[in-house]
Structure 1
């Protein structure tokens, strides 16, 4: 718990942008020298990525960020590097700094949303998933928004999200549900939305509405394991 509280404190305090963080230590270089150093660090970064050397790649990105405080490409790469290596706190902090400068950065919104979710900061992850949906129309982001709203017991918001999801889901959209430690079941987005709607109703004690939603999900996906398990709870 102490670790989680410390992490959340860091996230709350992390509001300064990269340009602000690096201005005071930015060396004054002529354009040609800067270009040469950038090319060297970019080549070293690419080689480190090729050889799976996380530490070397990270160090080169920090050099590039300090030398080019207004270029968001480098912090975006750093955030992705942290995220891909499972360092959710660092990934979230980098993404949040980027969003202070460019609140429409899709990649940073994704990293912030998923990293904060992984850290258990659902209330902070939710607005990033919601904004992702508004900017991209991505139904997976809408599903994540609805599921987090349900988890936070924001039931009316969650119902609104599932209504939109069920209406807008495309036939070829799938979402994975774990059925064991090693196996995942791919389910159509509309059936996933119906199952989530049933979970919301079940959480509110409305078993009849929950049962209907689960049955509709199973009609669409007869092998939907989670919906079948949830239906038993609504009987």
Structure 2
């Protein structure tokens, strides 16, 4: 009986060692496959062979489901090639695994905006602002609130921007009528947006005051100039 117990223990120990060796071999095999796939992915990007790059990312995601970096790279690749629907879906899947992934929040927000799903894009910009304090994300949130006729929320967001001390020095780019761009401060942009909200609410006095404040900060701000002109023309 004692010999049988010893034999059983030896067999169990041998089996455990064998399983550990197999797991180690599988880990080593996966490591080598990962290295190969990442090398081919980089090569495909270098040679602009995007279908191959995407396929390698899919293989890496399948083999390494907990490594969210590969999901980020796939979402970024779709976004950079203007495949916004695919970029949004990958980013949203990534956010289900980690709702604080800043890259995924940006890609989801911008991609959904590009396909016209503003109501779905806005929460991602809100979350991005709350996580990073980026004023551009708050401005995007405010403008989307305005576009969705959520005027009270848009005013609250615009006022948050105006009160933030960084809004006087941080800049935003706006496209002019001649297709060139101009830089204005976030604060001037927020005041212009505030004027748009008041104009939509038929509050002429407050709208005019907001546009004037925007132009005091940025005298050449074409968008504010046009909005002021439209306000005056509509009230003649």
TM over 0.5: yes
Q: TM-score, normalised by structure 1?
A: 0.86
| 1:209 corresponding residue in structure 2 | 206
Preserved contact between residue 166 and residue 190 of structure 1 (Cα < 8 Å)? yes
The offset of 1:47, in angstroms, is 1.1
Give the structure 2 partner of residue 156 of structure 1: 152
- Alpha-carbon distance in 1 for matches of 2:221, 2:35: 52
The answer to whether residue 226 in structure 2 is matched with residue 226 in structure 1 is no
Query: Alpha-carbon deviation of 1:169?
Result: 4.8
Greater share of helix: 2
Alpha-carbon distance between aligned partners in 1 of 2:113 and 2:179, rounded to the nearest angstrom: 22
1:179 aligns with 2:176: yes
Who wins on radius of gyration, i.e. which is larger? 2
CA contact (8 A) 1:112 1:128 kept: yes
Alignment map for 1:110-121 (pairs within 5 Å): 110-121=106-117
Q: Kindly tell me the number of residue pairs found equivalent between the two proteins.
A: 207
Could you say what secondary structure the match of 1:30 adopts?
helix
Please name the residue that 2:193 is paired with.
196
- Correspondence for 2:63: 67
Distance 2:93 2:36 in 1: 26
- Structure 2 equivalent of residue 3 of structure 1: none
Cα 1:157–1:59 change in 2 (3 A) is same
Match of 1:81 among 77, 80, 99: 77
Q: Does the CA-based 8 Å contact 1:208-1:234 persist in structure 2?
A: no
- RMSD of equivalent CA atoms: 1.1
Regions of 4+ moved over 6 Å? none
Q: Where does structure 1 lack aligned partners over 5 or more consecutive residues?
A: 1-28
Q: What's the counterpart of residue 91 of structure 2?
A: 95
CA distance in 1, matches of 2:86, 2:162: 35
Q: How far apart are residue 181 of structure 1 and its match?
A: 6.1
Q: How many Å apart are 1:223 and its aligned residue?
A: 0.4
Q: Greater relative contact order (Cα 8 A, min sep 6): structure 1 or 2?
A: 1
Task: Quote the offset at 1:180 in angstroms.
Answer: 3.7
SS across alignment from 2:169:
coil
Distance 1:45 1:184 in 2: 36
